[in-house]
Amino acid sequence: MTLVLNAASGRRVREATGMRITADRTAQLAVPLSYCAADPSVGVAAVFRTNAALAAAGARSSSPPLLTK
C-alpha cells in the first residue's frame, strides 16, 4: 500500500488505491480457480508444491536483507 501511495500523485491517491484493491480482489478470485483447474491434470502434490514455492518466494522478496559483518 505504501508503494501505491508513494507512486501516485497527490490528487490520484484514491484512484490508485482503488486499482490496487481491484487487483487484489481479482487475484483472490483467479488464483484459487486456477489451482482448482490445474489440480485434476497435475495432481494435488504438484499444486501444493507450486503454492508453497510461490509463498516462499513472496516471503523472501518482501523480507529485509540480512545484515552481514
Is the pTM here over 0.85, yes or no? no
In degrees and rounded to multiples of 5, residue 68 shows phi and psi of -120, 145
What value does the mean pLDDT of the chain take?
81
CB 12 within 8 A of CB 28: no
Residue of 68 and 34 predicted with greater confidence: 34
Which grid cell sits at 51? 503454492
Helix, strand, coil share (%) of the chain residues, nearest 5: 85, 0, 15
* Mean pLDDT computed over 22-30: 90
* Mean pLDDT computed over 2-31: 84
- For the cut 80, the answer to whether the pLDDT of residue 3 exceeds it is no
- In 3-state terms, what secondary structure has residue 43? coil
Residue 1 CA: distances (Å) to CA of 14, 21, 24, 60, 69: 12, 9, 11, 18, 32
* Mean pLDDT computed over 1-18: 79
